[in-house]
Structure 1
Amino acid sequence: MAEPFELAVVTGGAGFVGAHLCSALLAAGTEVVAVDNLVTSATGALDSVRDHPRFRFVEHDVTTPFSLPTMADVVFHLASAASPRDYLALPIETLRAGSLGTEHALDFARAAGARFVLASTSEVYGDPAEHPQTESYWGNVNPVGPRSVYDEAKRYAEAITVAYRGKHGLNTGIARIFNTYGPGMRPDDGRMIPTFLRQASVGEPLTVTGSGEQTRSICYVTDTVRGLVALAHSDHPGPVNIGNPHELRVRDLADLIRTITGSSSTIEYVDAAEDDPQRRCPDISLAREALGWRPRVAPDEGIRLTAKWFSRAE
């Protein structure tokens, strides 16, 4: 097992994945500085670590330059609106987080002598014509569609990360994250799993967009975090897919949630979202070979853990 980092900076550290990453790093013995402007964070996301002696929180919008009075071993750049509801409400802010925010985080990593890990997304593949998606696939993205503010922000973030590596010799790695879920998600964030769980808990119909035949590959948050940390401990530049290759139809996922929660909710089919990917599944061969990483939590187990947390949080 790799030695823990002495100090890590996590932008977007109060977000869903960011908060789990901060907790995991602290548990491993790392000092952590979380940077976040709290615009899309869940209330109390960092309550469990806020008083930890090795944790500091800095409220800051990374679209303006920042500096910290410290060196760092690694910078994890997660700052961005991540759910469709958020990035559609904050289109300019999302684009700025991916462009200016990434540049400022890269500048800080360069000044601090840190490895830089970009949390990119499977959305860079768009509605893929290749299945499963490998890192060599260039994607099928609509640059002027409603999802473009997020998709193109992340594609630009990857491009500038690669440019800093080439121009400045910065030690960088890019992770492409696939549909992460788990405890700590906001029930109202608009993503599929928290929406289904919220609807199931009150007996509302589970709203499935389109035919429900479209597929997703869902990755439990602890697995995603392990992948990010494994990439940080490596010297691999990426991009590397971090996701669970177990592919599920959306309507089957809705049925699984009804079964696990014991809900009497029906399934209601609504209009498909524009540019909604029809198939989404990662090829994780590179992650297995380069990082020794694979997901450990099966979808049914992860959904049970998430549903249990949601029932306590209500």
Structure 2
Amino acid sequence: MSQVIEPRGEAGRPAARSVVTGGAGFVGSHLCRALVASGNSVVCIDSLSTGRRENVADLLHDPRFTLVEADIVEPLRVGGPVDFVFHLACPASPVDYFRMPVATLRAGGHGTYHALCLAREKNARFVLTSTSEVYGNPLQHPQDEDYWGNVNPVGPRACYDESKRFSEAMTVSFRKQYQVDTGIARLFNSYGPAMREDDGRVVPTFVKQALSGAPLTVMGDGSQTRSLCYVDDTVRGILALAHSAESGPVNIGNPHEITVRELAEHIRELTGSASALSYTEAHPDDPQRRRPDISKAGRLLGWEPRVSLLDGLKKTIAAFSAADGPAAGHVPFAPG
């Protein structure tokens, strides 16, 4: 059944009105906060299957912000003008997409189609947040946007990888057939406040374990690498793409590459934890190397990450240490 969202306060409507699918999720909530802080009105659409109301609790009484609990896989109608549609709705943690593989594929298929239809109807700029997972376990290093990837279409991660690859194909097709103004951002391993403790991704897992004194569980021998981008930098990159005429795809990530074992040691040191490192069996198809080539983002968007890994980890640890839990301690977004 179609969901109808009527605009609030249209008489004094700001210069831009944005729809953010998955806006109560980790990256989505930070994006909503940045948009509202810049004067935008925001319609946040989230099924709350993996997102959390508390992620946007500080926005709920702001007249520029509307939270709508709805599933983007169903048709959606939004009343009034819309300038931007940001499509983030999709389980992004292995814990979640292993648990909900069909829902993950539907978010990339039906969800992307419905979000693109809304952008087409409203003549809005559409921005898809894709992922470095489209590169799979890459044979090219670092990964630039021309690399087609090395993805197992029937492996345990296929529901997420192929969901995002299909989302990209759908976005490109709407641009070609219907002239929808689209942009694709490929995000690399974002982290920061508002990640769930049970997210399953490496940063919240290590931080939770270190703060509790539990062993830090390192998959495999810990030599696999990640390139971690603090969420404020990720949001700046998404907004830079949104306010450009570029179609992408554009890599948004931090090219500083670190092994998982080194990351564990950094977190153990920053938390003052005496936790041991415990080595466990690696997940199937776990990427062994991950590092973005961001020269395109620098050249076309004037974007590069600003927050160092250590500074970002300190902010993340402080948020997880806050009395109200990991969703607390939001660091104000710094635009520009």
Answering whether residue 278 of structure 2 is matched by residue 271 of structure 1, we say no
Instruction: Give the alignment's Cα RMSD to 1 decimal.
Output: 0.8
Match of 1:47 among 47, 57, 60: 57
2:188/2:292 contact within 8 Å kept: yes
SS in 1 for 2:57: coil
Percent of residue pairs identical: 58
2:24/2:52 contact within 8 Å kept: yes
1:145 corresponds to which letter in structure 2?
Answer: G
Provide the rounded CA distance (Å) in 2 between the counterparts of 1:244 and 1:42.
Answer: 26
1:127/1:277 contact within 8 Å kept: yes
In the alignment, structure 1 segments of 5+ residues that lack a partner are none
Answering whether residue 179 of structure 2 is matched by residue 169 of structure 1, we say yes
Provide the rounded CA distance (Å) in 2 between the counterparts of 1:138 and 1:106.
Answer: 23
1:42/1:186 contact within 8 Å kept: no
Answering whether residue 101 of structure 2 is matched by residue 127 of structure 1, we say no
Q: Deviations over 1:93-151 (max 9, x none)?
A: 00000000000000001001100000000000000000000000000000000000000
Match of 1:241 among 248, 251, 256: 251
Provide the rounded CA distance (Å) in 2 between the counterparts of 1:70 and 1:212.
Answer: 51
Match of 2:229 among 213, 219, 232: 219
Provide the rounded CA distance (Å) in 2 between the counterparts of 1:212 and 1:16.
Answer: 25
SS in 1 for 2:148: coil
Answering whether residue 15 of structure 2 is matched by residue 23 of structure 1, we say no
In the alignment, structure 2 segments of 5+ residues that lack a partner are 1-13, 326-336
1:143 corresponds to which letter in structure 2?
Answer: P
Answering whether residue 68 of structure 2 is matched by residue 58 of structure 1, we say yes
* Displacement after TM superposition at 1:42 (Å): 3.1
* Displacement after TM superposition at 1:5 (Å): 5.2
* Displacement after TM superposition at 1:40 (Å): 0.4
Q: Which residue of 2 aligns with 1:158?
A: 168
Q: Which residue of 1 aligns with 2:319?
A: 309
Change (3 A) 1:5 1:160: farther
1:97 corresponds to which letter in structure 2?
Answer: A
1:15/1:45 contact within 8 Å kept: yes
1:24 corresponds to which letter in structure 2?
Answer: A
TM-score by length of 2: 0.92
* Displacement after TM superposition at 1:57 (Å): 1.1
2:254/2:292 contact within 8 Å kept: yes
Provide the rounded CA distance (Å) in 1 between the counterparts of 2:283 and 2:300.
Answer: 35
Q: Which residue of 1 aligns with 2:108?
A: 98
* Displacement after TM superposition at 1:7 (Å): 0.4
Q: Which residue of 1 aligns with 2:331?
A: none
TM-score by length of 1: 0.98
SS in 2 for 1:67: strand
Q: Deviations over 1:228-272 (max 9, x none)?
A: 000000010000000000000000000000000000100011001
**Runs of 4+ that moved beyond 4 A:** none
1:216 corresponds to which letter in structure 2?
Answer: R
Provide the rounded CA distance (Å) in 2 between the counterparts of 1:54 and 1:220.
Answer: 26
1:176/1:239 contact within 8 Å kept: yes
Q: Which residue of 1 aligns with 2:86?
A: 76
Match of 2:18 among 4, 8, 13: 8
Provide the rounded CA distance (Å) in 1 between the counterparts of 2:194 and 2:75.
Answer: 29
2:137/2:287 contact within 8 Å kept: yes
2:24/2:53 contact within 8 Å kept: no
Provide the rounded CA distance (Å) in 2 between the counterparts of 1:110 and 1:23.
Answer: 25
Provide the rounded CA distance (Å) in 1 between the counterparts of 2:258 and 2:34.
Answer: 28
Answering whether residue 305 of structure 2 is matched by residue 292 of structure 1, we say no
SS in 1 for 2:56: coil
SS in 1 for 2:59: coil
Q: Which residue of 2 aligns with 1:202?
A: 212
* Displacement after TM superposition at 1:53 (Å): 1.4
Q: How many residues align?
A: 311
Change (3 A) 1:46 1:270: same
Q: Which residue of 2 aligns with 1:178?
A: 188
Q: Deviations over 1:161-185 (max 9, x none)?
A: 0000000000000000000000011
1:121/1:176 contact within 8 Å kept: yes
> Within 5 Å, which residues of 2 pair with 1:184-195?
184-195=194-205
